[in-house]
Amino acid sequence: MLIRAGFDIDFECEIDTPMMAMLSVHPSRNRDLQTPHRLILNPEIPIYDYLDHFGNVCTRLTIPAGGASLSCDFTIADSGAVDRRPPDVGQMPVSELPDDVLVYLLGSRYCETDRLQDTAWSHFGHVSGGRARVEAIVDFVHHHIAFGYQHARPDKTAWNAYQERVGVCRDFAHLAIAMCRCMNIPARYCTGYLGDIGIPPIDAPMDFSAWFDVYLDGEWYQYDARHNRPRIGRILMARGRDATDTALTTAFGRADLVRFEVHTDEIEG
Amino acid sequence: MLIRAGFDIDFECEIDTPMMAMLSVHPSRNRDLQTPHRLILNPEIPIYDYLDHFGNVCTRLTIPAGGASLSCDFTIADSGAVDRRPPDVGQMPVSELPDDVLVYLLGSRYCETDRLQDTAWSHFGHVSGGRARVEAIVDFVHHHIAFGYQHARPDKTAWNAYQERVGVCRDFAHLAIAMCRCMNIPARYCTGYLGDIGIPPIDAPMDFSAWFDVYLDGEWYQYDARHNRPRIGRILMARGRDATDTALTTAFGRADLVRFEVHTDEIEG
Amino acid sequence: MLIRAGFDIDFECEIDTPMMAMLSVHPSRNRDLQTPHRLILNPEIPIYDYLDHFGNVCTRLTIPAGGASLSCDFTIADSGAVDRRPPDVGQMPVSELPDDVLVYLLGSRYCETDRLQDTAWSHFGHVSGGRARVEAIVDFVHHHIAFGYQHARPDKTAWNAYQERVGVCRDFAHLAIAMCRCMNIPARYCTGYLGDIGIPPIDAPMDFSAWFDVYLDGEWYQYDARHNRPRIGRILMARGRDATDTALTTAFGRADLVRFEVHTDEIEG
Amino acid sequence: MLIRAGFDIDFECEIDTPMMAMLSVHPSRNRDLQTPHRLILNPEIPIYDYLDHFGNVCTRLTIPAGGASLSCDFTIADSGAVDRRPPDVGQMPVSELPDDVLVYLLGSRYCETDRLQDTAWSHFGHVSGGRARVEAIVDFVHHHIAFGYQHARPDKTAWNAYQERVGVCRDFAHLAIAMCRCMNIPARYCTGYLGDIGIPPIDAPMDFSAWFDVYLDGEWYQYDARHNRPRIGRILMARGRDATDTALTTAFGRADLVRFEVHTDEIEG
């Protein structure tokens, strides 16, 4: 399957404003690109990329006083398959987890494992098997939180979402991640493109999406507590401990987002 | 100056309990070691080290049912100088910061920059110069929080410490770090040995200590909001975004700490 | 299967001599260790470890004037299986190789791909399939070179070995690696313990061994042009582009090796 | 000073040919870019970048049957200063070198330290001081080798250049690097743009240039055995152990270079 994706984003600001952006496709998808992935800036200001320690592409730039627009449009190959599911086997003991996944058992800004520990164990302690536990968590979170854009706020954490019971896709992901970690299942936050491929068309403006990875049986698997069903055509942009590490743009100073359009569509090959 | 340091720690647990420990000297001090730094375990269980992505030595082990003791004793060379202070120059603009320090401007589990942003700017927005700002923050935190071991709790954040006004060295560090980050000054959490060298002897059991690094004028400098004065003989063990990344031991299951002794003394060369 | 392995090595030198040693088990085997892996030094001089960019443990030390002995003895779990063989599928095109294996297609100190290119293509250009090509190369090298310790010399390259037709296990590995790379099959040099497990006992002093990895069908597989048969119980110590990157000890100055004993034996569990 | 630089390169090939290119500016110069650095391809084929373990930007692409052209044109800020020289202090003992520079003491494909060891010590063993030794080596190499494009060949090593006494800038660099390493001075190979800035105009087509870094007194310093004088306006593209690691393009298959133009000029700010 071929997917054409991209975005058009405009910022306005009064003074030169440094920014860190994670608006590229994740390097793990580089070999699927059918056209170069290039960030186009207007005006044409200097930019450059570096890799953070999660392996994400970070772009550094300074939005000039007045503002700037950033856009991107590319074609990428995709398997067209829905999210894979892990085998139905027991959960890996912590002692067998690889060294580099241990960090995804720890708490993080929006995933307060210390505060959710008892809740998680009381809900999911009796569920046996890694996959069964993860799916119980995803189900629980999917039904515990009511979706609504009006409930989004930048400092909302998993603990807040658990108590307030309302949120957006990022809050679904944070709560599910926190609970997986409490149960000693490594989990990490993902952000990227997710179009309406293989599902009925949705009458809402396209946005980037948030989901999460869990480490089960020696591999990472994708889950999505917002949609609670396997999906087709996720195009990963960034992953990390939580939304802190994967913010699409982080402005060091004030920059107003005045236009934000995302597109992700299946195209003919 | 030569410093002899080490610890004796005993854990008790009912079942085999996997653990991640950061009980080694940080690799940046490896070349100062005058004797091998070896973790001694009783019983002699298998252990091994890996490096996390902050460059800290992490030791993996499983405390066997019944418990185990961990100890260490080593001699290390130290300059004997007090903490260096940065030159009195302007704060580096974000656009000039190196790529790999940007992560230390972001929020983290115990440093909620999003919640402290307005407070930090109202207190320190008028202070000019990087060093002056950091020292204003350190002064503020030092006087804002009253020290007391009874105020320690594992889920306490910078925001909590700011509101409750009581805490331990870790809370002083978290609040100062969060405020530095709000002001666009990269700051990271440090933990290690800090003996009573160059100060009057203190009548309290020796413990590990927490301080923090700020990035000013192209280098990292050590500050300590708990003590609010330059000190001699810090021996770094681990550093990271906050206490989450540098916990001396993280047990995945229940392990009770039944003995905890730390020593750090200047010795004759 | 449990294997007990280790070594006793003595150096003599006239003045303090800095050294870099790769005498540890490779981190990929850390979780198999049944006892701590500790380097014991006599006299007890300061040492410390770091990881090189191939992921090997490097130990830094300075052999004091007069000399020092280094020893090690540990128990490790092993699958007991012989070297796995790849499926009989076509060779991966270069365009599908992961980024981080491309370096193992380039020439290196002891593997002059530029000089062996035509020879390799004339011998192996007609062989189709990745595994078949690798096995044709291993067979060729195994029969082309006659083994003999008297033919070892430190500056001997794959090209030299090809022309002189005599060598030791390191030369077999270098020539096979160089030819694999010429054929666009990534190959890397390995060094470690290899005992006489599953084969008739050999009447020769035990030594460390050299073999190599090839990247086929998305994974690394072990091959051994010296022995030309799958073996049991390889315990990897270091791997890299060739013997330059994996030397067990590199002295920066003169240090004479006056004792060298290695042991690797299957033991009762 | 502002420098405008770039290139136009055309390849022809009969079949699709995978390629690895190092045609970007090195990330250490990213913040000096005044315009985006973009590789333009005609036809517009998919490409992507990754970082190798030396920190260089590597671009992966497949030149389609028939051929393709690659071009680039950018403006970069430069200090305008000539190559800095290290202080006149003693050479650092190997035991004080940082861990990550030790690899630059080892031999590599084109720098056979094992074969040049005795020669280096007989020429430079009596010279005291790190800078003095490096400058003696650079002088020696500059006068030992006669420059001439007709003497270039891809498999020429430092040892070959020492014996044949003719070569191009790459051979000057390799011989000087090998000799520095023999003397326990870490040295690495550099490639990049070097225009005729601050020197009389040269009547020859512009090319990329090769020079080298030595590690003295805790920092890397640039030297150039081909020109044997400090220069202005080096724009680093890639560095590594030798030319193997920094080849501007490595084709896996046959690709003929049919056009090759490089420009590097000071421009008005």
Q: How far is B221 from chain D (nearest CA, A)?
A: 19
* Closest residue in chain B to residue D96, using alpha carbons only: B31
* Test the B interface: residue of D30, D31, D32 with most B CBs within 10 Å: D31
B249-251 and C234-240 beta bridge pairing: unpaired
Mean residue pLDDT across chain C: 95
List of chain B residues whose C-beta atoms are within 8 Å of the C-beta of residue A155: 112, 114-115
| Tens-place pLDDT, residues C10-34 | 999 999 999 999 999 999 999 999 9
Give mean pLDDT, residues A36-65.
95
**Residue B212's beta-bridge partner residues?**
B189, B223
- The least confident of A84-93, B129-138, C172-181 is A84-93
Q: How far is A230 from chain D (nearest CA, A)?
A: 29
Q: How far is D113 from chain B (nearest CA, A)?
A: 27
List of chain A residues whose C-beta atoms are within 8 Å of the C-beta of residue C99: 27
CA–CA distance, C47 with B159 (Å, rounded to integer): 43
Q: Residue C202 — pLDDT band, cuts 50, 70, 90? A: confident
| Tens-place pLDDT, residues C135-169 | 999 999 999 999 998 999 999 999 999 999 999 99
**Contact at CB, D27 and A48, closer than 8 angstroms:** yes
**Contact at CB, C107 and D244, closer than 8 angstroms:** yes
Contact D180, D116 (CB under 8 A): no
| Tens-place pLDDT, residues B138-147 | 999 999 999 9
pLDDT exceeds cutoff 80 at C204: no
Nearest Cα to A21, choosing from A34, A33, A7, A32? A7
Q: Residue B108 — pLDDT band, cuts 50, 70, 90? A: very high
Name the more confident of A232 and A196. A232
Q: How far is B57 from chain A (nearest CA, A)?
A: 11
D205 touches A: beta carbon within 8 Å: no
- The helix/strand/coil state of B10 is strand
C53 touches A: beta carbon within 8 Å: no
List of chain A residues whose C-beta atoms are within 8 Å of the C-beta of residue B158: none
The single residue listed with the structure tokens 């306006």 is D233
**Contact at CB, D36 and A41, closer than 8 angstroms:** yes
pLDDT at A90: 85
pLDDT at A203: 75
CA dihedral C187, C192, C195, C197 (to 10 degrees): -50
Scanning C124-163 for CB atoms below 8 A from D yields 154-155
**Contact at CB, D50 and A35, closer than 8 angstroms:** no
Read off the tokens for B265: 């003394």
List of chain B residues whose C-beta atoms are within 8 Å of the C-beta of residue C76: none
The set of residues, in sequence order, having a beta carbon less than 8 Å from that of B200 and lying 6+ positions away, is none
List of chain D residues whose C-beta atoms are within 8 Å of the C-beta of residue C52: 103
**Contact at CB, B114 and A62, closer than 8 angstroms:** no
D243 touches C: beta carbon within 8 Å: no
| Tens-place pLDDT, residues A60-74 | 999 999 999 999 999
CA–CA distance, A240 with A186 (Å, rounded to integer): 12
List of chain C residues whose C-beta atoms are within 8 Å of the C-beta of residue D250: 106
Q: How many CB pairs under 8 A join A and B?
A: 67
B187-194 and B256-267 beta bridge pairing: unpaired
Domains of chain C by residue range: 2-80+248-266, 94-240
**Contact at CB, D33 and A46, closer than 8 angstroms:** yes
Burial of residue B265 (number of CB atoms within 10 Å: 0-12, 13-18, 19+):
middle
Residue C244 is nearest to which of D53, D106, D250, comparing CB atoms? D106
Mean residue pLDDT across chain A: 95
A118 touches B: beta carbon within 8 Å: no
Handedness of CA D186, D191, D195, D200 (dihedral sign): positive
pLDDT at A7: 97
pLDDT at B207: 86
B96 touches D: beta carbon within 8 Å: yes
Low-confidence ranges of chain D (pLDDT < 50): none
* Test the D interface: residue of B29, B30, B31 with most D CBs within 10 Å: B31
Name all chains with 3 or more CB-CB pairs below 8 Å to chain C.
Answer: A, B, D
Residue D44 is nearest to which of A35, A44, A49, comparing CB atoms? A35
Q: Residue B129 — pLDDT band, cuts 50, 70, 90? A: confident
**Contact at CB, B35 and C41, closer than 8 angstroms:** no
Give strand ranges (E) for C56-181.
57-63, 68-77, 146-147, 166-167
List for chain C the helix, strand, coil content (%; round to 5).
25, 35, 40
* Closest residue in chain A to residue D60, using alpha carbons only: A31
Nearest Cα to A112, choosing from A239, A250, A246, A242? A242
* Test the C interface: residue of D94, D113, D177 with most C CBs within 10 Å: D94
The whole-model pTM stands at: 0.93
H/E/C letters for each residue in A56-67? CEEEEEEECCCC
Contact B186, B104 (CB under 8 A): yes
Task: Kindly report the length of chain B.
Answer: 269
D31 touches B: beta carbon within 8 Å: yes
Q: How far is D155 from chain C (nearest CA, A)?
A: 6
Q: How far is B185 from chain D (nearest CA, A)?
A: 19
pLDDT at D200: 86
What DSSP line would sit under C81-116, residue for residue?
PBPP---S-PPPPGGGS-GGGGGGGS-BTTB-HHHH
Name all chains with 3 or more CB-CB pairs below 8 Å to chain B.
Answer: A, C, D
* Test the A interface: residue of C26, C29, C31, C100 with most A CBs within 10 Å: C31
Q: Residue C206 — pLDDT band, cuts 50, 70, 90? A: confident
**Contact at CB, B18 and A244, closer than 8 angstroms:** no
* Closest residue in chain C to residue D52, using alpha carbons only: C100
pLDDT exceeds cutoff 90 at B201: no
A242 touches B: beta carbon within 8 Å: no
Name the more confident of A90 and D260. D260
Domain spanning D94-240, CATH architecture:
Roll (3.10)
CA–CA distance, A34 with D117 (Å, rounded to integer): 50
**Contact at CB, D41 and A37, closer than 8 angstroms:** no
Contact A237, A22 (CB under 8 A): yes
List of chain A residues whose C-beta atoms are within 8 Å of the C-beta of residue B106: 109, 244-245, 250
Q: Residue B18 — pLDDT band, cuts 50, 70, 90? A: very high
Q: How far is B225 from chain D (nearest CA, A)?
A: 31
**Contact at CB, D34 and A50, closer than 8 angstroms:** no
CA B209 to the chain's CA centroid: 6
* Closest residue in chain D to residue C158, using alpha carbons only: D109
ipTM: 0.95
CA–CA distance, D90 with D96 (Å, rounded to integer): 12
- The least confident of A172-186, A212-226, D192-206 is D192-206
- CATH class of residue range D2-80+248-266: mainly beta
| Tens-place pLDDT, residues C93-104 | 999 999 999 999
